[in-house]
Amino acid sequence: MDYKEEIIGTLRGTQDQFISGEELADQLHISRTMIWKYIKSLRSEGYTIESVTNRGYKFIEAPDLMLPREIKKDLKTEFFGKQIYYYNEIDSTNLKAKEMAPECVDGTVIITERQLKGRGRMGKQWYSPPGGIWFSVILKPDIPPDHIYRLTLMAGISVVEALEDIGIKARIKWPNDVTINEKKVCGILTEVEAQMDCVNFVIIGIGIDANIEMDMLPAIMRVSTTSLKEETGNDIDRVLLVQSLLDRLEKDYNTYLNGNFDLILNRWKEYSSTLNRRVKIVTRFKSIEGEAVGIDHDGALVIEMDDGTLEREITGTCIYL
């Protein structure tokens, strides 16, 4: 039994009332001294719990942290987030996820308050200060390696729809930047370990600039980046957003596994700000300009060049012209 979870659950359940140490101890069949130890430990995790002699304990508030206990409470998923590993700080959740993946079950989540070496696409660094949402999900799908880009597109729409759940309208800039008012608010880094014809595991890493003040970001980033706090004027409930996101991701993942990728692609097109725009795509090897006219089943952007020919790009940086 997770005694701390039981204690917090009971205290929350009694709302504004005090509940005595004795009552808690009887309920859990442990001593009052043990109850006191668990209360102390919960306080050190950041929970505010009032205690008054002869009356007992009262729950005041949970810390503003993405603790597994808080995320799992009211989580509606079947397997996404059933196993959550939490770190106050870590180099990168994607790196940790890769290390742990062989031993982990499908849907395991690695989440942190702050990354010291956050990884972005195309070998870039990803700035990850406290207040953001930085997490990775480990998946073990039975799919061929070249289907990975589909999962990246899928994650983009899950983020947009989870934001919609909390009243925030966002769009997708190819391949997987989630933007608000054309500024990036979330990045997705999908990494894979695969054999020639099968995938061992996939890591979907999601970084959302949630409760981040713009002056915490390096000046160069402020031109093209925003945060949920900046756009809404408020701190958002990060736990609620993570719960909603895990729920959306699980539903979309099942849709994908059930062979309905078309449904995902249609939603991607609906949320895309890239289609029907003149774009410049910069890859490691070349740079092309043209009109973004479509997205194909592999997640490749289809670009119509000025001479009318069509080019497909599976990855790269997209600049709107």
Binding site for ligand BTN (CB under 6 A): 92-94, 115, 118-121, 124, 126, 128, 134-136, 177, 187-189, 205-207
Residues in the chain: 321
Shortest distance (Å) from residue 90 CB to ligand BTN? 9
Buried b (16+ CB within 10 A) or exposed e, 213-252: eeeebeeeeeeebbbbbbbeeeebebbebbbbbbbbbbeb
Shortest gap between Cβ of 198 and ligand BTN (angstroms)?
Answer: 24
CB nearer to ligand BTN: pick between 134 and 261: 134
Closer Cβ to ligand BTN, 94 or 226, answer by number: 94
Least distance CB 58 / ligand BTN (angstroms): 36
Residue 15's CB: how many other CB atoms inside 10 A? 8
CB of 161 to ligand BTN, least distance (A): 18
**Residue 206 or 228 having the CB closest to ligand BTN:** 206
Closer residue to ligand BTN, CB minimum distance, 293 or 319: 319
Report the C-alpha gap between 33 and 20 in whole angstroms: 12
**Cβ partners under 8 Å of residue 212, min gap 6:** 129, 131, 132, 227, 229, 230
- Looking at beta carbons, which residue is closest to ligand BTN? 187
Nearer to ligand BTN by Cβ, of 172 and 199: the residue is 172
Q: How far is the CB of 62 from ligand BTN (least distance, A)?
A: 23
CA distances, 68 to each of 42, 48, 73, 105, 137 (Å): 13, 17, 8, 16, 14
